[in-house]
Amino acid sequence: MLVKQSTPYSEIKKRRLTYKYSFQESNFITTIQKNTAKYNADNISRTKAYIDYYNRNKEIRWAFLASMVSRNAGWNITDLEGKWFKLALDWRKRYPIFLTYELANWMIFQDAYPQLLLYELSKKYNKPLFHLLKEFHVSCFMEAEWQYFWEKRDIDRLMTSLIINEQNLIQEPVLQNKKLKRKVFGTSVYAFQDLGHFSCVIFPTIKGKLYGYSVHGFQKLHNRIDLGKRLADLLFDRRLFDSFLIFSQETEPTGSRFDYEQHLHKGVFRETPVLRAVYPVIPHRPFLQEDWVFRQEKHLAKWKQRARNTEREEIEITKWFIHKQHQMHSLIALKKWL
């Protein structure tokens, strides 16, 4: 008879059931909960919190990646209240799309920011405090990965692990949400954007160049993890990293595409509003779910591999992106005229 061997994750799960916190640890938990709630107010506060954290802890590269991807979420959100999307879609169709971006953005921060703060506390007190991740419902996978990072200092592995974790985190409550499937992912609008490669994640520079990748098959978990790894490679490309960091440091996030459009053309007209002028703070309820690692453990070895080879894929997409924007605007204008 074969006996099923326990995994590091099942061992962590067992330990979590019996661990009791000290008075100091309880204070750490309370402080982290307060700070997470404070900075998880909206897309702009999240974007700023990530980059501020990266500036304090340069070895945690994922924080810079999260800040830049969060900027993209803000731009997609304010597009919905811009000139063109208001022509194309009424509010009943735009609002569920906004909620999808907002919920995913909120959930990732709610899970990741306590991890970042616990690492910062671990550095301050010179001892690992990752056993406290249980209190924030963080996966056993990430507890093991933080412990490994503490011992081995594998910067790239930690960044990949955070990408894997956060994409698994939102799979069920966002991508497999029945209501969002019906009102967002199952609509002709989503299919049109997906098939036409009108959605993309871009990293701008203050010299007016855009780099990034188009987003295709966003509902598929494997696709999003692969995209995250390719974006990480792009962001930390030695030839481009300084340009992206300068943009981040010198461009205050407003949620509007004008953040980078101002660098593309002189005298460009703002077509999307600043985020806080059009959206209120949205309250969310925590979505408690089973630890994803026990369902997906068989995929971990594949997900931890380097991103697929992209040498032939164009990463400087300035002209392509502007063409796609003009193409979409023309189609919206035609639809409105018809």
- Examine residue 2 and state whether it is found in any structural domain, yes or no: no
How does pLDDT run across 145-176, given as a tens digit for each residue?
999 999 999 999 999 999 999 999 999 999 99
Residue 100 lies in a domain: yes
Whether 96 is in a domain gets the answer: yes
- What's the chain's average pLDDT? 91
Confidence of residue 131 (pLDDT cuts 50, 70, 90): very high
* Dihedral over alpha carbons 107, 112, 114, 118 (to 10 degrees): 170
Q: Is the pLDDT of residue 332 over 50?
A: yes
Neighbours of 301 (CB within 10 A): 8
Q: Please report the sign of the dihedral spanned by the C-alpha atoms of residue 229, residue 231, residue 236, residue 238.
A: positive
**Domain annotation covers residue 178:** yes
**Residue 255 phi, psi (nearest 5):** 90, -10
Query: Considering the domain boundaries, does residue 3 fall inside one?
Result: no
Q: Which amino acid is at 113?
A: Y
Q: At residue 336, does pLDDT exceed 70? A: no
Q: What is the largest CA-CA distance in the chain?
A: 75
Mean pLDDT for the stretch of residues 52-81: 97
Note the pLDDT of residue 272.
Answer: 92
**pLDDT score, position 337:** 63
Is 239 inside any structural domain? yes
The answer as to whether 276 is a domain residue is: yes
Residue range 260-288, pLDDT digits in tens: 999 998 788 888 999 999 999 999 998 88
Q: Which pLDDT score is estimated for 334?
A: 72
Q: Any idea which residue has 């461009």 for tokens? A: 251
Residue 2: per-residue pLDDT: 42
Question: How many domains are there within the chain?
Answer: 1
Per DSSP, the three-state class of 201 is strand
Q: Are 117 and 204 in contact (CB under 8 A)?
A: no
% pLDDT > 90, the chain: 71
The two structure tokens encoding residue 139: 């996966």
Q: Which helix (H) or strand (E) holds 313?
A: none
Residues 6+ apart with CB under 8 A from 270: 256, 258, 261
Is residue 130 pLDDT above 60, yes or no?
yes
Range(s) of the domain holding residue 93? 8-13+22-337
What is the average per-residue pLDDT within 116-135? 97
Mean pLDDT in residue range 177-196: 72
Return d(Cα 65, Cα 54) in angstroms, integer. Answer: 9
Q: What is the pLDDT of residue 1?
A: 39
* pLDDT surpasses 60 at 38: yes
In whole angstroms, give the CA distance from residue 51 to residue 276. 19
pLDDT of residue 196: 46
Tell me, what DSSP letter sits at residue 17? H
Does 201 have pLDDT greater than 60? yes
Helix, strand or coil, per DSSP, at residue 268: coil
Within-domain flag for 1: no
Report the SS3 class of residue 211: strand
Cα distances (angstroms) measured from residue 333 to each of 191, 192, 296, 336, 337: 19, 16, 44, 5, 6
With bands split at pLDDT 50, 70 and 90, how would you rate the model's confidence at 183?
Answer: confident
Rounded CA-CA distance 75/253 in Å is 10
Structure confidence at residue 3 as a pLDDT band (50, 70, 90): very low
N- to C-terminal Cα separation, the chain: 70
| 212-261 confidence digits (pLDDT tens) | 998 888 889 999 999 999 999 999 999 999 999 999 999 999 999 999 99
